[in-house]
A and B are shown apart, each in its own frame.
Chain A
Amino acid sequence: MTTVAAKPVTMAQAFGRALRDAMAADPSVHVLGEDVGTLGGVFRVTDGLAKEFGDARCTDTPLAEAGILGTAVGMAMYGLRPVVEMQFDAFAYPGFEQLISHVAKMRNRTRGAMPMPLTVRVPYGGGIGGVEHHSDSSEAYYMATPGLHVVTPATVADAYGLMRAAIASDDPVVILEPKRLYWSKDSWNPEHPTDVEPIGRAVVRRPGSSATLITYGPSVPVCMEAAEAARAEGWDLEVVDLRSLVPFDDETVSASVRRTGRAVVVHESGGFGGPGGEIAARVTERCFHHLEAPVLRVAGFDIPYPPPMLERHHLPGVDRILDAVARLQWEAGS
């Protein structure tokens, strides 16, 4: 076997490569969505798939999200493994009826007779200067729907690995693709592309001892940067990348918080009713006696996603994270 050297690859390319390899490995894998064929998707993630596998396997659909998800349900019922693309986070909403009422519930309604091996790709989140309806962080909606797996990679290797795992899963997986990391590069070894933790496991991206930053997707690099900056202030921060929001890896997260005694949850979607509330509650339930301070959240504001010229004020950045870290020097009664 010849050794293939690791080389820099963008996250978008890694997603595309995962789709390609999954299609090559299993003829039941079909890709469908708006502009996924000839154009290769607006982010070029599906580039080349229609050429290689034909337009019956990589299909430009009519412009209808409910139609895309609904027909994918039928395709899955007949034994295919559809991978559907919702072009942008906020354009998935017309398909929510199918997603919530059928994709998520089919296994349960049919007492296991009818699984839904379906992958829903959703480019999500802000930071790319998109206009209205192009920057929503919709993870809380998906998380609140029992029956869906929800994963979101932050590294090139995870983009590949989680995509392959999602497609291989016999359950529906919503894979939230952080738009602003699409062009982030990493050297990546295509020889061991699936050597990543499976769905449901979090990983410690950076070990530390004074507090844990719990984060995922687009906020992971921000937290890594914050952890670096915090060293100057004497903080040694651990960064936990959740990778999978459902199922949630309580073990990795709790183990980290028990070690450090302090935790901040960081994400860019709104805080109220957002993922951070659930995560903070779980951490508190499991680590109460180890906590030196309340679990804090650093989130986007509870507002509709702002216009591009104002988004930097909304997105949690390094400073806001460091402020929260400073508040972790909490004194009872204060």
Chain B
Amino acid sequence: MTVMEQRDAYRPTPPPAWQPRTDPAPLLPDAEPFRVLGTDAAAKADARLLRRLYAEVVRGRRYNAQATALTKQGRLAVYPSSTGQEACEVAAALVLEERDWLFPSYRDTLAAVARGLDPVQALTLLRGDWHTGYDPREHRVAPLCTPLATQLPHAVGLAHAARLKGDDVVALAMVGDGGTSEGDFHEALNFAAVWQAPVVFLVQNNGFAISVPLDKQTAAPSLAHKAVGYGMPGRLVDGNDAAAVHEVLAEAVRHAREGGGPTLVEAITYRMEAHTNADDATRYRVDAEVDAWRDHDPILLLERELTERGLLDEEGIRAVRDDAEKMAADLRERMNQDPVLDPMDLFRDVYAEQTTQLREQAAQLRAELDAEADGTDR
């Protein structure tokens, strides 16, 4: 019998049945971003937490305003403001236990401060006197990361290591919408899911990566949907609703701590200011779009909720603002002092032990500085 003759009789053996490895449905984000403030769910929210969030968000807003003012006075080289995004910043910090770790991106100064970092130290990078102005181990805040998404694998590795050591530590890593396009984002999520590492990824989707809007960044239904492809749950939350962000992150942290693995949280928010003080946002967006977000301001949402529930009155508002004002005044005053710099620090901490070459170069600089001081400079 030839092959041709065989054809009619041929019935292919079916391949073994295929099934998805896990059910994708529970991983899919809800159709709507999760909200608490202004909904029935708000009644269940803890009053103390709401007040705390309010105070921190107001402080955060004031911090952003103060830091931006410092750029105008030349006290900061640059400041990427998180005005409009304070709810995400604050919730990210408050949701963590002391032993947990925060992995912020360059925009997340506020999260670092809300976690307890000294406001001046948190600005060292942006003032330009050193790269990271704090000891990351002290508050368990990794260096504010400038290359986008590159801190995400670090968060996974740290969380993994903690689990290997038997510690119930969670790492929360922050990234922007633009950063989700980087290869490091993909690799971090994949490792985290495969290792079931106790990590929470928080994407602050503020609409733009410098000038590039989200629709040029991704064709995914949402950034939270990306989670499914890695085998972790994706959650969508209203990023201006501090109570909602807190609740979603708290749930993700709990899940991670209990061995449930990573979660990807997408917070929908908006960057009210330009990318940094050096950016011209009028080139890529119209005022009407910015204005539309003003009514959905994180402070406004909390204030409304708290006053309606009788948890906040004029006096309470004033007290919170006064406190924020004090923080700003202190920040302003301390930032207006010139940092004490030692050029010889250039050679410190390049290696644990100084190399011969660096010792020579240090001696060269020392001689130059001495000559400068003596006025024997050319």
In the complex, chain A residues 92-118 whose Cβ is within 8 Å of any chain B Cβ: 93-94
A11 to chain B, nearest CB (A): 19
A330 to B150, CA, bound (A): 48
Nearest-neighbor residue (CB-CB) of A68 within chain B: B181
A86 to chain B, nearest CB (A): 12
B313 interface contact, C-beta 8 A: no
A138 to B150, CA, bound (A): 19
Residues of B close to A291: CB separation below 8 A: none
Query: Contact: B211 with A60, CB < 8 Å?
Result: yes
Query: Contact: A303 with B358, CB < 8 Å?
Result: yes
Query: Contact: B212 with A63, CB < 8 Å?
Result: yes
A65 to B183, CA, bound (A): 9
What is the interface residue range for chain A against chain B?
A: 35 or more
Number of CB contacts from chain A to chain B under 8 A: 119
Query: Contact: A307 with B130, CB < 8 Å?
Result: yes
Q: Which of B126, B148, B279, B377 has the most CB of A within 10 A?
A: B148
A61 to B181, CA, bound (A): 10
A139 interface contact, C-beta 8 A: no
Query: Contact: A35 with B212, CB < 8 Å?
Result: yes
B301 interface contact, C-beta 8 A: no
A24 interface contact, C-beta 8 A: no
Query: Contact: B182 with A63, CB < 8 Å?
Result: yes
Residues of B close to A314: CB separation below 8 A: 346
A277 interface contact, C-beta 8 A: no
A67 to B182, CA, bound (A): 8
Query: Contact: A67 with B181, CB < 8 Å?
Result: yes
B121 interface contact, C-beta 8 A: no
Give which listed residue, B146, B178, B279, B283, contacts A63 with CB less than 8 A. B178
Query: Contact: B209 with A310, CB < 8 Å?
Result: no
In the complex, chain A residues 298-331 whose Cβ is within 8 Å of any chain B Cβ: 301-304, 306-310, 313-314, 318-320, 322
Give which listed residue, A66, A309, A320, A322, contacts B183 with CB less than 8 A. A66
B104 interface contact, C-beta 8 A: no
A313 to B184, CA, bound (A): 34
B71 to chain A, nearest CB (A): 12
Query: Contact: A319 with B216, CB < 8 Å?
Result: no
Chain A interface residues (CB < 8 Å from chain B): 34-35, 37-40, 42, 60-67, 90-91, 93-94, 129-134, 229, 272, 301-304, 306-310, 313-314, 318-320, 322
Closest 4 CB pairs of A and B: A308-B128, A39-B211, A62-B181, A63-B178
